[in-house]
Amino acid sequence: MSEKSKHKALIGKPPEDMAHLGYLFTERERSYLNKYGAWLDALANSRISPITAKQSEFLKSVRCEKQPKTEAEVIWAKWSKAREELLQKRAAARSRRENEESKNMSSISTKKPFSFICNACGSNSPNLCRCSE
């Protein structure tokens, strides 16, 4: 597949997590991301190579070598910031969940084992209790 074909195959697809972050963008920005988001993501993350000077300039903006100026650069900078914040929130939530699970597991292992004493016969084992027969 040619590089140009790879580019064309991505046009018209939104970036990953658009469903979770779309509310942060204007209608115009959402429309732009829904059309070019997957393509810009592939370009920004080197899954496709730039084939025009404008795409190379976009990558300079992505790498913080210049301030975002074009519509694509400004929207992508906003998208990148929002996505990074989402990923950080997910990582923090995962860490909290793992800590809670760890605490729960340690509290389970420190609990006293089940003890049984029959009030009628005094047996300390449910298997040996004569009253349950």
In this prediction the pTM is 0.70
Q: Is residue 117 included in any domain, yes or no?
A: no
Number of structural domains (the chain) is: 1
| Percentage of the residues of the chain whose pLDDT score is greater than 90 | 65
Contact by Cβ (8 Å): 25, 78: yes
Q: Which residue has the higher pLDDT, 115 or 26?
A: 26
Q: Is residue 121 included in any domain, yes or no?
A: no
Residues 19 and 39: their CA atoms lie apart, in Å, by 17
Give the confidence band of 107 by pLDDT, cuts at 50, 70, 90: low
Structural domain that includes position 83: 3-110
- Taking phi over 0 as left and psi of -120 to 50 as alpha, with beta for the rest, 72 belongs to alpha
Q: Is residue 17 included in any domain, yes or no?
A: yes
Give the confidence band of 1 by pLDDT, cuts at 50, 70, 90: confident
Dihedral sign computed on CA atoms, order 38, 43, 45, 48: positive
Q: Is residue 125 included in any domain, yes or no?
A: no
Please write the tens of the pLDDT for every residue from 42-93.
999 999 999 999 999 999 999 999 999 999 999 999 999 999 999 999 999 9
- Sequence length of the chain is 133
Contact by Cβ (8 Å): 10, 48: yes
